[in-house]
Structure 1
């Protein structure tokens, strides 16, 4: 390829910029903004995958154990995550999402979805909304 940027690279760069801005916009509309991205990531993983150890979380996200341990400690202090002994291996401490943690995630999701739905309704015409809807399967294929 020559020094010239390909159409695909231009599309990728623009898509990355737009997706990032949309995520930041949705995040700013949601409660619990004082949470760091790593804290939200831990909450989401525990919600999606169930109880895990700090080591499990660090391995899953390819992060240092110490970084995840600090993140988890902050979540435990806020009552969003609970530590419990693993009944199958009493040496292990499992992390469990508390009801407060689950409620915060639900509030964040709903606020973000509502914010994005309002933007779609307010800023796009009916034809543009239809065009956006038809492009969603293409975007989803990028994840497969």
Structure 2
């Protein structure tokens, strides 16, 4: 005998989707309040995150990864360079291109801000949730990773 749980109906799934959207937005706001690295536009944040995780990149590769025109990405990159968050160096094999990277100063700031956010999350999880709820949250995070990768 096998236990089979019935899949939720469409209205239940829609309600979960709505709740998830609202909760993620609220959590993002709380994270911005904690250890905020600056007032960045979503495009700027995406470029900074991509350069931090993926290493040096060209304007063209950043534009392609973000699904925008190179001209738009050039504008985003220029503002980040002017502010001292990223710097450019000649591409080693293509002299027509520039490789962009985070400045050392900003990389340190970015990592410190991330650490502050993770510390807030750690303390909040430990104080607000029971051990069993913490285990449930870990399972939920694994499911959210699957949704994000889909």
The alignment's TM-score, normalised by the length of structure 2, stands at 0.82
Q: 1:16-70 CA deviation, whole Å, 9 max, x = no partner?
A: 2111211221122123222222222111101112211111111110023232212
Give distance in 2, aligned partners of 1:129 and 1:42.
Answer: 32
Is 1:95 paired with 2:87? no
Partner of 1:59: 64
Partner of 2:27: 22
Secondary structure at 1:82 match in 2: strand
Alignment partner of 1:107 out of 109, 112, 118: 112
CA contact (8 A) 1:46 1:52 kept: yes
The alignment's TM-score, normalised by the length of structure 1, stands at 0.85
Q: 1:46-104 CA deviation, whole Å, 9 max, x = no partner?
A: 11122111111111100232322122112111221111111211111111221122112
CA contact (8 A) 1:31 1:104 kept: no
CA RMSD of superposed structures (Å): 2.0
Give distance in 2, aligned partners of 1:78 and 1:19.
Answer: 29
Alignment partner of 1:120 out of 122, 125, 134: 125
Query: Cα distance, 1:110 vs. partner?
Result: 0.8
Q: How many residues align?
A: 141
Partner of 2:3: none
Is 1:6 paired with 2:19? no
Give distance in 2, aligned partners of 1:67 and 1:126.
Answer: 47
- Structure 2 residue runs of 5 or longer lacking an equivalent are 1-8
More contact order relative to length (CA 8 Å, sep ≥ 6): 1
Q: Which runs of 4+ in 1 moved over 4 A?
A: none
Secondary structure at 2:88 match in 1: strand
Alignment partner of 1:82 out of 79, 83, 87: 87
